[in-house]
Amino acid sequence: MINERLESIFLQDVAHEIGATLLGDSKQEIEDIAPLDRATANQLSFLSSAEYASHLSTTEAAAVILRPEQQELFNGNRLLMDDPYLGYAKAASLFHPFRQVDFGVHPTATVSLSATLAAGGWVGAKSMVMAGARISEGVYIGPGCVISSGCKIGKGSRLMANISLMEDTVLGEGCIVHPGAVIGSDGFGFAQEGERWIKIPQLGRVVIGDRVEIGANTTIDRGALEDTVIEDGVKIDNLVHIAHNVHIGENCAMAAMVGVAGSSTIGAGSTFGGQAGVVGHIHIAPGTHCTARTFVAQSIEEPGVYSSGTPADTNRRWRRNTVQFKKLNESIQRLRAVEKKLGKIEMSEKQEPQE
């Protein structure tokens, strides 16, 4: 696997790396990847949506990633695969991999004498690694991060900047955490005594698997008694909140501003559009897909696509509909009363003697 930025690469090597079938010049040199309408003579492009097919006749791209059934649409070099967008993602990583320049510890960083730092990593400016933390080989810790006591970070993970891992947080191998994320802060746990609130100590951890990506300013709370668990391959966007004791199955994906309340369990391979919300203490079946702004108020046992929310409308019509919505229960009761009367009329007509 190619793991460093190359100035150029032969098209046959690109095909091998992304798992595509090559039709054309195997020795064509590729220097980068670009959209169809902006690609130049040494760049690779792709067609993932039919609406951009018109660009194929004018693109200057050296090669294009296409589906097999689309190969006749382009006369130049072609890389054929069932999912061109996936091909684009893999190809882009060839030309723009993460490049770690520095190794060691920045002079302004603070590392506890009882912490363990394996070789090949970096602790950035003004970052802190506290007592008992264990940092594996090749971990990148950017500037301004706090790695609290007892934390464990797996091989090759990257913490970009200003990230807080609170006590005993476990982060697996190959993870990426974007700026401002807070992992392992206390969950929202309080008991009420009269008019005041008594804080419940949060005794669990956050345990995150391998290849997880966590977006900027996302927060994941530690468990109250048991751990909050994020399994392998989960992708979480910016500004997402995961409450205490939540368990998210492998390869789930959540877009920006999703909120998951405490002690809910989300099955593997589920997806959530932006601003979707999940109440606490429910179960969501594996393979469930909730569109943007879906409000999940009860357990979902059957996988599928779920939606809720009110689409935008003119203000005047929206206000009228809102008034009617408030009267919905009354309207239903009146409708049932009418149906009951109609049923009695139909029954009496059937019972009338025939002349």
Q: Give catalytic residue positions.
A: 244
Tokens 């100035």 -> residue: 7
Q: How far is CA 224 from the centre of its chain?
A: 24
Question: In the beta sheet, which residues pair with residue 253?
Answer: 235, 271
Side chain identity, residue 160 = M
Taking CA atoms, 141 is separated from 30, 97, 159, 168, 228, in Å, by 32, 17, 5, 17, 23
| 323 phi-psi bin (left φ>0, alpha ψ -120 to 50, beta other) | alpha
Side chain identity, residue 173 = E
Taking CA atoms, 253 is separated from 25, 69, 215, 233, 267, in Å, by 38, 29, 11, 9, 11
Query: Which structure tokens are listed for 290?
Result: 């909730």
Tokens 């966590």 -> residue: 214
Query: Which structure tokens are listed for 243?
Result: 């409450």
User: Whole-angstrom Cα distance, residue 211 to residue 220?
Assistant: 16
